[in-house]
Structure 1
Amino acid sequence: MLRPIARLKVALNGGRRPGEHPALPCAPAELAVAAQAAVAAGAEAVHLHPRRAGGTESLDAADVGAAVAAVRAVCPATPIGVTTGLWVTGGDVATRSLAVGGWAELSRYDRPDFASVNVSEPGFTELVLMLTELGVAVEAGVWTVADAAALSIGATLPRVLVEIMSPETDPAAVLAALETAGVRGERLLHGEGASCWPMVALAGRLGLPTRIGLEDTLTGPSGEPVADNAELVRLALSVWSSAA
């Protein structure tokens, strides 16, 4: 069962290239250091994108297991999740399914507690079923009203990520569409880029959990530079609490 998030999940790295920020963690040891600091700052869950030795994103069991195990060693009580973004396999659904299926070889310790699956990507339903069989909880990534309306199996999912990628997207409309479609499960509201900090504040006003990290933004709420993920967590908790 996926533990609910009261206020905030940290997204450590996303698909950013190594070197985009001095504190961007890529290797397992770097992810462990960043996660430990972010959890100490108040993050209740960790989301990460595992990497190959060269720094590119990977869904392969060996890379996923190494990243998860490194973080679990320093954050044993914190739920750890990973991406399943189709871009990681160059848009190839079969390759993604093969890679995720390989997670069956991982021990429970090395396997992620949850994984994010984007509703708009081909193979969504099949991937959700595969992850469920693996004992990995699913967060459904919903970017638009159309995604919300398409979430036909939402009743079986513990969490829905309302991910506002563009200032033109109305978060209220997406949230309303989920209600209209009868989708159950926890809502987590967050943005990326220009939408990041406004969504943290809106989540606070609505009493919804949110997300922050170097995946979503490289700057603070006023555009100021930030040192690392832990600083973003502290700033986001302040914004969230002030808006509540």
Structure 2
Amino acid sequence: MIRRIKACLNGGRPFPASPADLAAEAAAAVQAGAEAVHVHPRDPAGAESLAPADIGAAVAAIRAACPGIRVGVSTGLWMTGGDAHRRAALIASWREMPDFASVNVGEEGFAELVRLLASKGVGVEAGVWRPEEADAVRRLPLERVLIEVLDTPASRAVEAADAILARLDTAGYHGERLLHGEEEACWPLISHAGRLGLPTRVGLEDTLALPDGTPATGNAALVEHALRRWAAA
């Protein structure tokens, strides 16, 4: 269980990309207080990848640098050009398993991929971007639901998050929830997560700036600021 904060190290950003860079950023984030890390592994050319060799290299490097820390990866459908069957085939061939993986509810093959990952002993985070997607998480073997507020101005971030949370209640989902936002919505929702007592996440995937707008020096600085903001709320 993530009690306070997970570090999302890179996402679609160009850095950190290599296994060594991911491991270094993970170690710094954990030192700053992160309880788990989420990454988008890359192939040798720098493209996001679900290939077994790329997943394995990233996961192994982070585990070596951060013993005992749970490591998660993305399964974004864009990594296989929208091909859900190819995505499933690549994941079925993984040899070094992450501890958990994020699966976006709105993507084709969501439920089938959740079951595949669960059968391989990988915990699943279901990414819910819109209230109507909350109904799809019922009766699936999930580790947690991610309430993810994307492409939303700061002034509407809390409203958008609360709408998803309410729909999860209506849908009967009572498992672990993690609340976060990207870009403008990042810092308001870290505060909101703190008020609600929900875990959150932060890292270069979600924002490049500290709460005052100055550029972050890395994932560790973001984690430090987020923990203070979460606790203060």
**Do they superpose with TM above 0.5?**
yes
Match of 2:7 among 6, 10, 14: 10
SS at match of 1:211: strand
Pairs within 5 Å for 1:129-144: 129-144=115-130
SS at match of 1:227: coil
Q: Structure 1-normalised TM-score?
A: 0.91
What does the per-residue CA deviation read over 1:150-209, in whole Å, with 9 as the maximum and x for residues that have no partner?
A: 32334x312000001123561111101101100131000000011111110100111100
Confirm or deny that 1:213 pairs with 2:203.
Answer: yes
Confirm or deny that 1:163 pairs with 2:148.
Answer: yes
Task: Give the Cα–Cα distance (whole angstroms) in 1 for the partners of residues 104 and 54 of structure 2.
Answer: 21
Which position in structure 2 is the counterpart of 1:191?
181
What does the per-residue CA deviation read over 1:3-49, in whole Å, with 9 as the maximum and x for residues that have no partner?
A: x1110000000012x2xxxxx21000000100000000000000000
Is the contact between residue 60 and residue 100 of structure 1 (CA under 8 Å) also seen in structure 2? yes
Task: Give the Cα–Cα distance (whole angstroms) in 2 for the partners of residues 150 and 29 of structure 1.
Answer: 37
Task: Give the Cα–Cα distance (whole angstroms) in 1 for the partners of residues 139 and 103 of structure 2.
Answer: 13
What letter corresponds to residue 79 of structure 2 in structure 1? Answer: V
Match of 2:36 among 37, 45, 51: 45
Task: Give the Cα–Cα distance (whole angstroms) in 2 for the partners of residues 172 and 126 of structure 1.
Answer: 28
Confirm or deny that 1:181 pairs with 2:171.
Answer: yes
Pairs within 5 Å for 1:118-137: 118-137=104-123
What letter corresponds to residue 32 of structure 2 in structure 1? Answer: A
- 158-167 or 62-71: bigger deviation: 158-167
Give unmatched runs, 5+ long, in structure 2: none
SS at match of 1:230: helix
Task: Give the Cα–Cα distance (whole angstroms) in 2 for the partners of residues 220 and 184 of structure 1.
Answer: 32
What does the per-residue CA deviation read over 1:90-113, in whole Å, with 9 as the maximum and x for residues that have no partner?
A: 11111101111111xx1xxx3100
Identity %: 57
Task: Give the Cα–Cα distance (whole angstroms) in 1 for the partners of residues 132 and 46 of structure 2.
Answer: 33
Task: Give the Cα–Cα distance (whole angstroms) in 2 for the partners of residues 51 and 121 of structure 1.
Answer: 21
Is the contact between residue 157 and residue 184 of structure 1 (CA under 8 Å) also seen in structure 2? no
Q: Structure 2-normalised TM-score?
A: 0.95
Task: Give the Cα–Cα distance (whole angstroms) in 1 for the partners of residues 79 and 12 of structure 2.
Answer: 9
TM superposition shift of 1:238? 0.8
SS at match of 1:97: helix
Which position in structure 2 is the counterpart of 1:21?
none
Task: Give the Cα–Cα distance (whole angstroms) in 1 for the partners of residues 9 and 57 of structure 2.
Answer: 15
Which position in structure 1 is the counterpart of 2:67?
76
Which position in structure 1 is the counterpart of 2:50?
59
What letter corresponds to residue 99 of structure 2 in structure 1? Answer: D
Is the contact between residue 142 and residue 163 of structure 1 (CA under 8 Å) also seen in structure 2? yes
Task: Give the Cα–Cα distance (whole angstroms) in 1 for the partners of residues 162 and 224 of structure 2.
Answer: 26
SS at match of 1:189: strand
SS at match of 1:52: coil
SS at match of 1:88: helix
Task: Give the Cα–Cα distance (whole angstroms) in 1 for the partners of residues 71 and 148 of structure 2.
Answer: 19
Which position in structure 1 is the counterpart of 2:90?
99
Task: Give the Cα–Cα distance (whole angstroms) in 1 for the partners of residues 180 and 172 of structure 2.
Answer: 21
Report the aligned-residue RMSD. Answer: 1.0
- 44-53 or 178-187: bigger deviation: 178-187
Task: Give the Cα–Cα distance (whole angstroms) in 2 for the partners of residues 47 and 150 of structure 1.
Answer: 23
